[in-house]
Chains A and B, each alone.
Chain A
Amino acid sequence: MEALANNLQVLFQGLALGSIYALVALGFVLIIRATNVVNFAQGDFAMLGGYAMILFTVGMPGNPELHIPGFAMHVPYGVAILLAAVVMAIIGLAFNYGVYYPLRNRSFLPVLISTLGASIFLQNTVLALFNPQPRPLDKLFNVEGVTIGGVFLDSQYLVILGFTILAVIFQYFFFEHTLIGKKLQATSQDKDMARLLGIPVTLMIIITFVYSAVLGGLAGMLVAPILFVSIGMGSTIALKAFAATIIGGFGDVAGAIVGGIIIGVIESFAAYYISVPYKDAYAFLALFLVLLFRPQGIFGEKVSEKA
């Protein structure tokens, strides 16, 4: 009985963690579909979201070496989330113009490297502006959680699961049932044709970057109370989220969510039963196996280049 409760506990944690990977993976997939490029700074959106929350709630000390003053706003949690989302939208816009747009007509490799540069830039800018120490963030609700059948359900984990479900439903309606969603889909499938049909492709790509940045930021805000906010938090999340997109099927929306959850659960169980120090390696081992035996991923289809 106790073993079952333990396993359920581990599963629950895995699902919550997997939801975070899924949210970041969704951002990946949207950008892959719109621009055919993997954004290696996607995880840093989560990091920035976390820091924005800290900034708007408890505040940050500055960096005396560079004469940067501390900053704090102490606004209510809900307002802080809204403000942080606005900040993320602005960052997404800047990212589009600074990192993607100048390279839009080149092959995927220069853009990929450019996003890698952006990732280093974002992490180290935050590091230089604020103290490198990891920061804790309060939970959304001021309750620890509930215990059901011997399984402790942390309130923040429940928030994460709930938000992920909402985000998936929202995204489904947005893409399938709104005109702008259809235009975004058209852009991702065939930019030239979309342009000929009068769809403002550049604007659509901007929307994609902004949406992905906000989504990534929200994932960071949600996970911050569990993981602490640190400079490197995004990199680890992003690598696993990227692994999730490949396991699920490259560029597939449902695949990103399922892949994220799978990785979260695998990691949770492997850490519990095998070894904690290698926690971060399991996702990659799973990825190697998938690439060996089903390289197109769970939902992916084999595609071959046309001559």
Chain B
Amino acid sequence: MSEAIARPAASVVGQNNLPGLLLLAVLAIAFPLLPYALHVSDYVLNIFMNSVTYAMAVLGMVVVLGYAGQINLAQAAFFGVGAYAVGLGTVSWGASFWLSFALGIGAAGIAGLVLGMTTLRLGGHYLAMITISFQQIFDLVLVNWIGVTRGPDGIPGIEPPTLFGLHLTDKRAYLLFCAAVLYALIWFVWWLPSTRLGRAMRAVRDNELAAGTIGVHTLRTKVIAFAISAVLGGIGGSLYAAGFSYISPDNFSFLRSVEFLTAALLGGAQSPFGAALGTVLIVLLPEWLRFLKSLYLAVYGLGVILIMVFMPEGIWGLLRNTFQRMRKPAAPVVGVAPALNFEIKAQSSRPVLKLENLQKHFGGLKAVDGIDVEVAPGTVHSLIGPNGSGKTTSLNVVNGIYRPTAGAIFLDGVDVTQMKPHERAGMGMGRTFQNIRLFQTMSALENVMVGAQRDNNPIEAGREALTKRALSALDFVGILERAHMIVRNLPYGHQRLVEIARALAAHPKLLLLDEPGAGLNQTEKQELVGLLKRLRGHGLTVFLIDHDMGLVEKVSDRITVLNFGKKIAEGTPQEVLRHPDVIAAYLGEGPANAAARA
């Protein structure tokens, strides 16, 4: 069983790619040895050096842009931080290379952390703007703070380091060392997506709201991604400085940042191999396109647009898609997963969810206007009401997407009113969405693993336990054999099941289901009713909203009815569905209904 599940879906390099892997290894080893084998000029050696050090910065772009989906237009500044640390450290301050190197990495990382913490809350366009601003200020400082940075003249005479008593003055030897560092970094970036952190990053990229709701600390994940990216830039810059022995501000301009971005996009921002390929191309293109003379940069700009239009996943993406079409589709998972364990504590009578005078106003609109609800442990409690009665708003307040205007929310006796969605998830609040919110480019298994990796989930530590838990959840909802499929390719009904499995894998104390029946056909609805009944049989507490009376009536122990943001009825399905106010709210006041009222 465990062999079948261990393969990371993020990369094409797997057991069945042996020839490709071998080719890659041969290329990788041959590349830095070329200058030894052939007689190359210093000029060509510089091109090699450029490729290797730039590639490190571009790997940073893979992490921040490819994995976490955040833009960074200041990678050249982080690259510059590393370069200036080595330049100033060794030349101006007389420190050793290694000390300066460490300083550069630290400074780049701290700069990335600070920039990330202040702006990643906002993301999107803001991040683009802020990183450009940082880049501009960095350039201004380099040029104008002449006392320290030596201004536009730059810093000459940077010495290459000594490694194990070996002075790397021979450029070829130094290149060999840099290539070794690069390969280590490529391995790291390749390994990252299959880790807890890497999955969290990709979850944030694919659907930030859902990621937060199921327990991913989205801000922290983005900040870490940003800092890793900055550190990779810093490493590249440090090695660059010692490799060229001279640096000046124009090596670290905004245009260089765009170049790093373009290299990542051209090669493929989702893969470290694509990044390496893209970097080599970006370094070589000006050499090949020399005949364009002064038009080169114009063509380059045009190229950026064309890549975005025709090659959104870059060259590596194109190659991967082509090969994947030739390969057999992912084998279905066969076998059995361990039964899903719900670990529900001995029942106390305390309500699992308690809403006290909950209110949410949007301007003058009172979407939720003071409702009190108690959800008893081990029950399925439904919230129903006509369109616009405040159901979804209530659910969004309960799980923290909205802050309530007034009132309090208790989860298993703990006041969670002020907590963020991921903190509530960490306390055992699970949720699904009406318009399914999955991580579209990840496999079903990975989606569910992100759910299982929430804080305080009572499972053993380690990847194996996480995988096992996720497979059990998929098995419980009945789609274990689809575990390795990318969810984007699954039918709608299955996507809904993956979303439920994702919530179940987290051992929820309380499961919030937002219109689970929406968009399902009759058969699928029947299956859903069966699933919900099984959940109740296991003693799980469910708080559900839906329109479909048939479904609600079949699965609910208790129903609360909302209209215009207020509770108008509550009780068992039989009581509630005969309640005259409920009938009036759904069908309107009319002579026929007036009879029912009487």
Residues of A within 8 A of B (CB): 32, 38, 40, 63, 65-66, 98-99, 102-103, 106, 108-114, 116-125, 127-128, 239, 242-243, 246, 250, 277-278, 280-281, 284-285, 287-288, 291-292, 295, 304-307
Contacts and interface: CB of A to CB of B under 8 A. Distances in A.
Contacts of A63: 294
Interface of B: 69, 71, 73, 118-119, 121-122, 124-126, 128-130, 132-134, 136-137, 140, 143-144, 209, 213, 255, 258, 261, 265, 293-298, 300-305, 307-309, 312, 392, 395-396, 401-402, 433-434, 437, 514
Contact of A120 (B130, B297, B396): B297
22 contacts: A38-B129, A113-B71, A116-B261, A117-B302, A117-B305, A118-B301, A120-B304, A121-B298, A124-B296, A128-B295, A243-B129, A246-B129, A281-B136, A281-B137, A284-B137, A285-B137, A287-B130, A291-B119, A291-B130, A295-B122, A306-B396, A307-B395
Contacts of A40: 128
Contacts of B396: 306-307
B69 A113 contact: no
Given A116-B258, A288-B130, A292-B118, A66 B125 contact: no
A261 to B, nearest CB: 19
Nearest to A302: B403
A112 B125 contact: yes
Given A66-B293, A281-B137, A291-B118, A112 B303 contact: no
Given A120-B298, A120-B301, A291-B126, 7 more contacts: A66-B293, A118-B301, A120-B297, A124-B301, A128-B293, A278-B140, A291-B118
5 cross-chain pairs, A with B, having the tightest CB-CB distances, nearest first: A117-B304, A121-B301, A120-B301, A284-B133, A124-B297
Contact of A295 (B73, B121, B295, B433): B121
Nearest to B146: A277
B305 A114 contact: yes
A292 B129 CA distance: 14
Given A114-B305, A125-B298, A307-B392, A120 B258 contact: yes
A15 B449 CA distance: 56
Contacts of B121: 295
A128 B304 contact: no
A98 B401 contact: no
A98 B308 CA distance: 12
Contact of B309 (A102, A277, A295): A102
B229 to A, nearest CB: 15
Given A108-B125, A307-B514, A113 B118 contact: no
Nearest to B297: A124
Contacts of B434: 307
Nearest to B294: A128
Contact of B118 (A38, A111, A288): A288
B373 to A, nearest CB: 19
Given A112-B128, A280-B140, A103 B71 contact: no
A116 B304 contact: yes
Contact of B129 (A119, A242, A306): A242
A247 to B, nearest CB: 11
A239 B140 CA distance: 14
B78 to A, nearest CB: 17
A307 B305 contact: no
Nearest to B309: A102
